[in-house]
Amino acid sequence: MKTRSEKEMFDLILGVAESDSRIRAVVLNGSRADQSARRDCFQDYDIVFFVNDIRSFTRDHSWIDVFGERMILQMPDDWHDHPYDYTGSEPFIYLMQFMDGNRIDLSLNADGYIDDGEPAVALLDKDNMLPEFGPPTGACYFVKPPDEKEFSDCCNEFWWLGPYIAKGLWRGELAYTKFILEYLRRSELVKMLGWYAGLKHGFQIGIGKRGGKLAQYLSHAEYEAFERTFLDYKKENIWEALFAMNELFFLAAQTVSSRFGFSYPQQDDDRVTAYLNHVRRMPLSSKSIYPSGES
């Protein structure tokens, strides 16, 4: 299937909005509204339709078929653990991935525009309801300097999660271990690296979702150290990735704490690291965390 061009996609979106009296305004936000964002073929069309009757749209979802042949659709506002109230007028979003590679994230909103700082461009305004948008710069995505409590909590969570990973590795619980390390603990590492990179660049950068743009703001050696924190399914390699993560977190946290005058929890670092080394050496037949004579 031939991929529709950006012009074709905007013509389609605006054509739908202009021909439907229920749709009063259209706003583009996200990366396509950010003049500084990198352009590529994977950018979504993040669109908000401001409508006067959400229920008239959500009572029959087939109206979105006009946007093209879909590969897959998701409606996260109507999920098994939080079903949507189809009798109300709460906002609703359609996440549409199309067969030609394009994607539209289309939000329906019955309220007025709320400025959350995200880059935005008015595409249509039938009632002059939208505010004047300044030049979209993407500054809302910049890393923000931490306060002392935020820094302390990040360090605490990072080191707190270490024993969970050691336990999972010793037990051979791969799924559990990967979840703790790759989802929970890596989130704290990326947060710290964001502050570290922010310091280096005057907090005028954004590191992207989940640190996807870190390679642009770390040195080659630093990013190679980050790459070593990624694991495969082999136990020893996971141990190596775990300790590589510890070393990189320490490097970044020391710089951040020194710059802002924060206290780094060196005792937590030392004790947890010693514990991890101990569990790594434990025989699988051990019935106690500590060998005889230790406490």
227-273 per-position pLDDT tens digit: 999 978 899 999 999 999 999 999 999 999 999 999 999 999 999 99
> Would the pLDDT of 295 be above 70?
no
For residues 228 and 245, what is the distance between their CA atoms, to the nearest angstrom?
8
If you average pLDDT over every residue of the chain, what do you get? 91
Q: CA angle, corner 91, sides to 85 and 96, nearest 5?
A: 100
> Would the pLDDT of 286 be above 70?
no
| Portions of the chain given CATH number 3.30.460.10 | 6-136
57: its two tokens = 């749209």
For residues 210 and 83, what is the distance between their CA atoms, to the nearest angstrom?
28
CATH number for 142-281: choose from 1.10.760.10, 1.20.120.330, 3.40.50.1390, 3.10.129.10. 1.20.120.330
Q: Which residues on adjacent β-strands are paired with residue 67?
A: none
Segment 135-159 mean pLDDT: 90
> Would the pLDDT of 290 be above 60?
no
Ordered alpha helix ranges (H), the chain: 6-19, 54-58, 148-160, 162-171, 174-178, 186-200, 220-227, 235-260, 266-281
64-78, pLDDT tens digit by residue? 999 999 999 999 999
For residues 98 and 101, what is the distance between their CA atoms, to the nearest angstrom?
6
Per CATH, the number for 6-136 is 3.30.460.10
What's residue 1's pLDDT?
73
Q: CA angle, corner 172, sides to 170 and 174, nearest 5?
A: 120
| pTM (2 d.p.) | 0.78
**What is the share, in percent, of the chain residues with pLDDT greater than 90?**
74
| Portions of the chain given CATH number 1.20.120.330 | 142-281
